[in-house]
Structure 1
Amino acid sequence: MAELIDLQTFTDKRGNLTVIEKVIPFEVKRIFYIYGVDDSIRGGHRHHNTTQAAICLKGSCEIYSTEGTTEERFVLDSPAKCLTIQPQDWHVMYNFTSDAILMVLASDFFDPDDYIFEKYSITQKQAYHD
């Protein structure tokens, strides 16, 4: 299941320095940014193999995740928060602020055959809006 990690951040009068070191549970092979999002919902899939780590560098967004039995909603509103998303986690990203920049680190290179778009059949109410 998806897990929120607090990234180590050093703060002094000069500002903040956040470190991503020895906390991402995979070797990073791909990095992409999502920004300039209107009221659209992004994502809507899970993976066969790829693990991801999402960090909202600026602004905020929400991520809904389910592995078929448990549903969770995460608010990413600080560049010191990192959400790890496992391959089995069907997820969507939504409620982007107009200034949001969401950076995603991925364990694998892009492969269209790695994507599974089918939602899980769960009885609980979805925590995001379709």
Structure 2
Amino acid sequence: MKLVQTAIPDGVIVEPTVSSPSPKVEQVELQVMGDSRGSLIPVEMGTNIPFELKRVYYIFNTKDGVSRGFHAHRESQRLVVCVSGKCRMVLDDGKTRQELWMDSAEKGVLVSNLIWLELHEFSPDCVFIVFASDYYRESDYIRDYQQFLKEARGD
């Protein structure tokens, strides 16, 4: 994962560090197990997923120039991992905005609720997997950025 500097919407420049820009976002090193046959990374509740797992989905075959995400969740938490290829992920808690390249199956990002997430610049071979704490519920989604800011900032 490569961190890059970005600007939040009001133009203030934030210099991200290796530590999380928000207590609601945590970078996670995933344990790789392997031998001469190859590698395996276990993803387990209570070990590297701190919530009850209810849904798993993956994004793949994303067309050139397409961006995804552009939403936050009111309640759901997620562990996101780019298992193949790479993409640029934007995380925004309403105060700070961080961009990072997801480019390693050995690293994930825990994303809590009320974090705006965007995915950009997918490589042709990108496979992005999401482990979620809740089943799909449209009412959990915030798809309007201004509404997200109101809820994230407690307005």
TM-score, normalising length from structure 2? 0.73
3-state DSSP of counterpart to 1:8: coil
Show the counterpart of 1:82: 108
Show the counterpart of 2:55: 30
1:107 aligned residue (127, 133, 143): 133
User: By how many angstroms is 1:49 displaced?
Assistant: 0.6
3-state DSSP of counterpart to 1:75: strand
Structure 2: runs of 5 or more not aligned: 1-23, 150-155
Greater mean alpha carbon deviation, residues 5-14 or residues 81-90: 5-14
Greater mean alpha carbon deviation, residues 8-17 or residues 105-114: 8-17
Q: Which protein, 1 or 2, shows the higher relative CO under an 8 Å CA cutoff with sep ≥ 6?
A: 1
Query: Share of identical aligned residues, percent?
Result: 31
> Match of 1:72, as an amino acid?
Q
Aligned length: 121
TM-score, normalising length from structure 1? 0.86
3-state DSSP of counterpart to 2:32: strand
| Max Rg structure | 2
Show the counterpart of 2:90: 64
Give the superposed CA RMSD: 1.3
Once the two structures are superposed, residues 5-46 of structure 1 have per-residue CA deviations (whole angstroms, 9 ceiling, x without a partner) of 010112433222212231111111011110111221101010
Structure 1: runs of 5 or more not aligned: 122-130
Runs of 4+ in 1 over 6 A off after TM superposition: none
Query: Is 2:41 the counterpart of 1:18?
Result: yes
3-state DSSP of counterpart to 1:74: strand
Return the alpha-carbon distance in structure 2 between the equivalents of residues 36 and 17 of structure 1.
23
